Each structure stands twice: as C-alpha cells, then as structure tokens.
Structure 1
Amino acid sequence: MRFLRKSLTGLFLMSLALGLLAYAGILVRDAVQARMNEEQRSRPARERVFAVNVIPAQFGPVTPQLSAFGEILSLRSLELRAATGGALVSLDPGFVEGGRVQAGQLLAQVDPANAQSAFDRTESDRLDAEAEEREAIRALGLAQDELEAAREQVGLREQALKRQQDLRDRNVGTAAAVETAELALSSAKQAVLTHRRAVAVAEARIDQAATSLRRIEIAQDEAQRLLDDTEIRAEFSGTLSEVTVVAGRLVSANEKLAQLVDPDLLEVAFRVSTQQYARLLNESGQIKETPVTVTLDVFGTNITTKGKLSREGAAVGEGQTGRLLFAELETPRGFKPGDFVTVQLDEPELRRVARLPAAALNAASEVLVIGEEDRLEVVQTELLRRQGDEVLIRARGLDGREVVAERTPLLGAGIKVKPLRRSGDAVASEEPEMLELSEERRAKIRAFVEANNRMPQEAKARILGQLDKPQVPARMVERIESRMGG
C-alpha cells in the first residue's frame, strides 16, 4: 500500500508540473503575437546641441617666449692638487666642504722638511760660489798688477840695451855687455808673456765662477719652487667643495684635495633645437645678447634672477642634437653649480598673431569657429609657436570670430552648439590656494625643511617664514610633502 501511495503522489506532481509548463508556453506565445501585431510608432528625431566654451580670436603683435631646461655652471673653478707628496702638517680651519676662502690664503701645507733641506744646501752652495767669484776677481787684479810690473821691467831692459849699444858704438862698452843686456830684455819679455797667461787664467776662473754661480742660482730657484709647492693656496676667492683630506694624512703628488669654485661668477648652460637657435641669430649670423630669466623651483618657492645670452657651444657633441647655449647670470644669489633650472628668453616679435588654447587646435592645424545659426565651421590656420598650454597661430578671416576653446571628438563642421562666453568681469584673480595646517603637520614640514642641507639658505628662510603664518600656500605644502614621501 505504501508503494502504491507514493507512486500515485509522484504521478500527480508530474502532471501538475507539465500543466504549469504548458500554461507558461501559452502565455509566451500570446505575448509574442500581441507584440508582433502592434503598429510601429515612430518618434520625431531631435537634433543634439552641444555646449562649448568659446573665446574671441584677437590678432596683434606677440612676443613668443622660448623655454628650456638648463644647468648652473661656474665660470671659474679650480682643482686643488698636491704638487708634491708627503704628510699634511697643517690644514686651515676653513678647508672644509663649503668653506669660504680668500685669494692667496694658505689652505694646507705638505711636510716641507726635505724641500727646506734642499733649499738650505743650495743656499750654502751659492755662498761658496760667490766666495769663489770674489777670490777669482782678486786673483785677476794681482795678475794684472804683475803684468804691468813685467811690462815696466821690459821698458827698463830696453833702455839698458840702448845704453850699452851707445857705449859700444863709442868704443866705451864691450860686446859682452850688449849681449848681456839683450838676454835680460828677452827674459823680461818672457816674463810678460807668463804674466799675460796668468791674467788669461784669472779671467777664465772668473767666467767659471760666474757660470757656477748661475747654475747654483738656478738650482736654488728650483729648490725654492719645490718649497713653495708644499704650500697649497687659494688662487681666487671662492667656496671649497669635494674636500677629501684631513690634517696628518699622507698625500701623493698630483692628488686632488678639493675643488675651488667661484660662487659669484655663474652661468647657465641649456640646449635648444636648431630651429629655435636660428631664431636667435642676428643679421651677421652671430648669437644675439638676448636677456634671459633663470628660475630655480624650490618646493614651490621660486628663486629667479636675470642674465644675458653670452655664447654658444663650438660643436654639437656626439649623440646630441640642437645647439648648446650659455647665459651669464647677473646676480646669482641663491644659485649653486649643478642646480637644474628653467631658462626663459624672448624671441623676436611676431605680428598679426593670435594666442589660443592648445586644445583648440587639432593635428591638422584646424580650429572650429561659430558660424551662422551657431553651427561650427572649420578654419585652416598656420601654427607658429607652442607656448606651454597655448599656441600662436596666423589665419585669414579669423580676426574677431569666436573659436571653440576645447575640441572633442564629438565636435565637427555643421554641428549646432550652444556657445558659453566668459565675461571679463567674471574672471577670477589667480591667487594661490591657501591652507590652514594643524600644529603636528606644520611641525613635520618645518623639521623636514630645516634638515634639508641642499636647499639654499635664502629659500629655506622664505619657506620657514611662510610656515609661521596662519595660512600656507597649498602648492608649497603639496610639493614639500611629496618630497617627504607622504
């Protein structure tokens, strides 16, 4: 009985399920037929209108600005090297990284004992050579006196010979006496020759003494140079960097000890394209002394100075393009060699030029303008310059017309738009956004700025002064915290 009851229950449930499925199929079929039998109702199409920002195209003279990135260099820098090897026996307290030194200041000295001994030996040799020269001069004087006496003796012998000859001619004297006088005269002349030879020897001795003295003076000058080379002095006033020595250290000859940099003679080196370089040449093909503005961005606080274009690089350089230009800085306060800066300079003025947002121009140098019934028209332009987020263009028939400020792929010729015009009175002043910092956040930023040794003192003082105020520029806070890593 149980099996029969369960079987009947299963058959009943299956019959119920099949009935429900059949009923659902009928409902679906009726719905499809009703949908297919309905009449098509078409709605009238409505043109879509886009809202666009427009600005008037105003043509006139514009001075383009060339912007480039450069590096601060020193016009005068010197490597301080040890001319001789040895131990550093003295070191100036200012011989440290960042130390300020004056021209001629003694910075360090290598042990001068050996050089001093060599100089003392040459001094002693010089004294001996001078004594030898004086003795040779005295010997020459004596030899000349002896020669003069010998010549006087020859004169006396000649007179005696003449007297004996007169006596012989008067038959008073003898031939033997004449011969004796002749022999005495010959001996006197021989003595003159001997004394002349002695004078020549004395003169040669003086020349040898002078040559020896000159040779010793040269050796003494060399010893003096070696002694002077033990002293390391500043050739000009400047700042020391890359200091690698301490007092007592052994240094070798020609070893680099530090770098001396003149912080008051700085320049900036930057590279421009060949096209930009061509616009900076004058009629004779030389670079013009164009004023430049150099800016160093330090945590949102800019350090700016003026300068002028001074010269150009002699060659392009392997693997480089464009041209390398140099500009001298007028007041390089706050700048250091190695700073990465932005350089801006004015190009020659352009006439009949309009300044538009860069987003208003497409890749084909076309802009969209408002035509009749607020429909867009395409105008072909000539792109002259790109100035950051702006472009300088030149076109015919565009003066005074309204140009779409931001193009989108949805906009094109013939599309109806709703122009949104900006009123001159509604333009807000571009004042920096200010923030009120909590004491904890302010203290963290202050500690980071004070611990930063690479920041110039002028910029550090300016930032700390702004942090003391109730409100701080948001841009400065954002840059500092990005450097902090949080």
Structure 2
Amino acid sequence: MRFLRKSLLGLFLLSLTLGLLAYAGVLVRDAVQARMDQEPRVPTARERVFAVNVVPVAFETVVPELSAFGEVQSRRTLELRAAVGGALLDLAPEFVEGGRVEAGQLLARVDPADAEAALARAESDLLDAQAEQREAERAIGLARDELTAAQDQVALRENALKRQNDLVARNVGTAAAVEDAELALSSARQAVLTRRQAVATAEARIDQAATQLKRMEIALDEAGRRLADTEIRAQFTGTLSEVTVVAGRLVSANEKLASLVDLQDLEVAFRVSTQQYVRLLDETGGLRPAQVSVTLDVFGTNITAQGALSREGAAVGEGQTGRLLFASLDRPRGFKPGDFVTVTLREAALEGVARLPATAVDASGSVLLVGEEDRLEVVPVTVLRRQGDDVLIRAEGLNGREVVAERTPLLGAGIKVKPLRAGGAAAPEAPAMVELTEERRAKLVAFVEGNTRMPQEAKTRLLAQLAQPQVPAQTVERIESRMGG
C-alpha cells in the first residue's frame, strides 16, 4: 500500500512536469510565431546637426599692412684712421668704446714733432723764395736802366757819326774820324744788345722766382696739412665703436682706430617679395612714401619707432630674391645698428573688402555660407591679402550674410548647422539652491553611500555637495527621483 502510494505520487509529479514543459513549449512557439509574423520595424534616422561659429560679412575700406623683417643700420658710419704714423698723444677721455663725441672734437693726436719741423722748413724755404723774388725785381729794374743808358749812347754815337759825315761833305773832316765814329756807334749798339739780354735774363729770373715762390707755398700748405693730419677729430656728433687703441701706442698710416656711428640718423633695411614690392609702387612706377612702423621685441617689451619708406636697392643681389627696401626712422629712441626688427608698412587702401578669419577660407578660395533653413552653401571668393590670422576677401552678394568661421572636414554644402554667433549666447544662470533639513540630508547621504552601482568619483562629488549648507536643487531632485524608483 505504501509502495503504491509513492508510485502514484511519482507518476503524478511526472505527468505535471511533462504538462508544464508542453505548456512552456507552446508559449515559446506562439511567441516565436508572433515575432515572425510582425513586420520589420526600421528606426527613424535623425539628421545630424553641427554647431558652428559664424561671423557676418561686412564690406568696408581697409588699409592692409605688410610685414617683413629687417635690420637697423646707421646712415652715417665713419672709420677713423690715422693719416700719418707715430705715437698717439692727447687721447680724449671719450675715445673709448661707446664714447659720445661732438662734431669737431679733438679725439687724439699723433706725435706732431716731425710735422712741425717740416712746417718750419717749409716756412723758411718760403721766406727764401720771397727774398729771391724781391731781388729779381730789383735786378730787372737795374737791367732796364742800363738798357736805357745804352740806348742813349747809341743816339749820341749816331749824332757824332752824322757830324763827321757833314764835315767830310764840306771837306773839313777826315775819313779816319768817320771810321772811328762808325766803330763807336757799332760798339754802342752791341752794348744795347747786351743790356737787352740782361733784361731778358732778369725777366726769366722773375718768372723762376715766382715759380719757386708758388712751389714753396704749396710745400707750406702740404706741411700744414700734414700737421693738421696729426689731429684726429670727430666729423659729426656720434658714438664711438670698435676702438682698438690706447694712449702712447704707435700707429701706422691709414690704420683703423675706431668707427664713428651716428645713432640719431638710423634707417632699417628689409627685403620683401616681388609681389609685395609691386603693391608699394605708385602710378609712375616709383615707391610710395608709405608709413612704416618698426618694432623691436625685447623679452616681451616692445620698442617701437615710426618712419617712412625712403628708397630701394639698385640691384637684387647675387643669390637673393625679392627687393631690398630702406626706410628712414623718426626719433629712433632705444634702437641700435644691428637690431633685428619687425617692419610693418601701410599699403594703399582697398575699397569694398571684408575681413574674415583665415580658417573660414579653404585652399580653393571658397567659404561656407549659412543659407536657408540653416544649411550650408559653398561660395567662391577672391582672397586679396592675408593679415596675420585674418584674410581680406572680395565677393559679390555676401554683404550682411553669415559664413562659417572655422571649417572642418565634416562640413560641406547642404549640411544643416546650428549657428553660434558672437555675443548671442547668454551667460549660464546660476543653479537654484535649497537648504536641507537634517533628516532629509541624512536620507540623501544614506542613499548615495548605499548605492553600489554609482562610481566612486561621482559618489564623492555628491557627498561633498550634500555637505554644503545649500545644495543645488537639480541634484536633490535627481537623487530623490532615484530613491523613489
């Protein structure tokens, strides 16, 4: 009986298990069949919208600026050299590196003993030449007087010969007396020739004395110049550099002693490309007197000076490109020759151009315009200048429109965007704060500490907020909503 009862119980349980398994199989079959009978559901695709920064296009008159790098140099630099050799004397205290000297100031003197002796000899020779000239003038006076006396003797001898001829014609005189008179006349005429030769010799002596006097004057001037060359003076006001001598040193002729630099007459030399050079020309082909700004960056402190474009180089130069330009500086305070500076030139004004960020224009010269329904359009533009991080463009029909300020590979024609305008987004409002009761605060803290699925960083941040006297209302609502779930 007992065995029969257990057997029937086992059979009942087996039948119940098989029935449940069959019921479960029917449910699974119905579910699969219902799933297979359903139509496939395709999820609705949502268009992606990109947020982009946009800038308005405004056409105006802009003065472009051209930037280049150049070197400051002095327009007046003079090498001080010794004209004569000798020992340096009377060296000025300012004759040192960086010494400031005035125009005409005596800087140094070469030992003038030899030059002074040569000058004294030249003066003595000049006195001798002057004495010789005076003696020659006196000699020609005497020679002319002797010539006059000889001519008078000739006249007397001619009269005597004439009387003897008259006596002979009247048969009173003799032939011998006539011959004596003729001989005397011939001797007198010979004396005249001798005196004329003496006068010519005296005149030649005067010419030689004048030539000698002129030569001595030239020698005296040369000696004076040699003596003046022993003095080394500043030709203009400036600063000394490259000083290589000290007092007492022996220097040779034409040896370089120092360089004199005018720091008040500076200019900057810089090189630009040929394309930039063409933009600086006027209608006649000459350089415009463009305004120039020179900047020297000294560890964050800028030294600036203003100037004007003055001239250009005559040739390109071997191995060089572009054009070499020069600009004069007005009041170059703080600049020194050799400074490497940044030069900014103001070009001619461009009318009807717009300034856009350089990132708004691609390599093909086009921009993305925000069109209808905030969809992008590709519009070609003409890039005229690049000004640092900006570009100057010219196009038609873009005035007042908005273009994308920063292009990315994800943006293109037809893409829908959300324009972000400068100054259009309002500043975020401060979150609302609430004060919690101790009971409410304890419940929130207990929930956060007991939440095992919350990351430790988030848990620490929430506990720090809950420990404050005032807690953001949004944080409290989010925690209580989870507590209620």
Aligned counterpart, 2:201 = 201
Residues 384-429 of structure 1 deviation map (CA, whole Å, 9 limit, x = unaligned): 11100101112333322222222233333333333221128999xx
Q: Aligned runs of 1:206-245 on 2, under 5 Å? A: 206-245=206-245
Cα distance, 1:426–1:42 mapped onto 2, change above 3 Å: closer
AA at the equivalent of 2:296: L
What is the CA-CA distance between 1:166 and the residue it aligns to? 3.0
Q: Aligned runs of 1:10-29 on 2, under 5 Å? A: none
Aligned counterpart, 2:330 = 330
Aligned counterpart, 1:413 = 413
Does residue 54 (structure 1) correspond to residue 54 (structure 2)? The answer is yes
Aligned counterpart, 1:435 = none
Aligned counterpart, 1:295 = 295
Q: Aligned runs of 1:153-172 on 2, under 5 Å? A: 153-172=153-172
Residues 18-56 of structure 1 deviation map (CA, whole Å, 9 limit, x = unaligned): xxxxxxxxxxxxxxxxxxx99999876554433322211
Aligned counterpart, 1:255 = 255
Aligned counterpart, 1:390 = 390
Output the CA distance in 2 between the equivalents of 1:371 and 1:173: 151
What is the CA-CA distance between 1:127 and the residue it aligns to? 1.5
Stretch deviating more after TM superposition (132-141 or 161-170): 161-170
What is the CA-CA distance between 1:320 and the residue it aligns to? 1.3
AA at the equivalent of 2:338: G
What is the CA-CA distance between 1:357 and the residue it aligns to? 0.9
Output the CA distance in 1 between the equivalents of 2:277 and 2:189: 92
Cα distance, 1:260–1:425 mapped onto 2, change above 3 Å: farther
Aligned counterpart, 1:133 = 133
Residues 235-265 of structure 1 deviation map (CA, whole Å, 9 limit, x = unaligned): 2222222222111112222222122222222
What is the CA-CA distance between 1:270 and the residue it aligns to? 1.5
Does residue 174 (structure 1) correspond to residue 174 (structure 2)? The answer is yes
SS at match of 1:69: strand
Output the CA distance in 2 between the equivalents of 1:425 and 1:249: 79
What is the CA-CA distance between 1:355 and the residue it aligns to? 0.7
Output the CA distance in 2 between the equivalents of 1:353 and 1:138: 94
Aligned counterpart, 2:189 = 189
Output the CA distance in 2 between the equivalents of 1:426 and 1:111: 85
Percent identical = 73
Aligned counterpart, 1:376 = 376
SS at match of 2:305: strand
Output the CA distance in 2 between the equivalents of 1:171 and 1:282: 113
Q: Aligned runs of 1:398-437 on 2, under 5 Å? A: 398-423=398-423
Output the CA distance in 2 between the equivalents of 1:359 and 1:228: 69
What is the CA-CA distance between 1:372 and the residue it aligns to? 3.4
Output the CA distance in 2 between the equivalents of 1:376 and 1:270: 44
AA at the equivalent of 1:352: G
SS at match of 1:335: coil
Aligned counterpart, 1:143 = 143
Stretch deviating more after TM superposition (172-181 or 226-235): 172-181
Output the CA distance in 2 between the equivalents of 1:59 and 1:132: 92
Does residue 84 (structure 1) correspond to residue 78 (structure 2)? The answer is no
Aligned counterpart, 2:343 = 343
AA at the equivalent of 1:297: D
Stretch deviating more after TM superposition (142-151 or 396-405): 396-405
SS at match of 1:51: strand
What is the CA-CA distance between 1:173 and the residue it aligns to? 3.2
AA at the equivalent of 1:66: L
Aligned counterpart, 1:270 = 270
TM-score, normalisation: structure 1: 0.74
Cα distance, 1:158–1:396 mapped onto 2, change above 3 Å: closer
What is the CA-CA distance between 1:294 and the residue it aligns to? 2.0
Aligned counterpart, 1:280 = 280
Output the CA distance in 2 between the equivalents of 1:50 and 1:424: 17
After superposition, the CA RMSD in angstroms is 2.6
Across the two proteins, how many residue pairs are aligned to each other? 391
Output the CA distance in 2 between the equivalents of 1:165 and 1:379: 135
AA at the equivalent of 2:178: V
AA at the equivalent of 1:188: A
Aligned counterpart, 2:461 = none
TM-score, normalisation: structure 2: 0.74
What is the CA-CA distance between 1:361 and the residue it aligns to? 1.8
Which protein shows a greater Rg? Answer: 2
Query: Where does structure 1 lack aligned partners over 5 or more consecutive residues?
Result: 1-36, 428-486
Cα distance, 1:352–1:193 mapped onto 2, change above 3 Å: closer
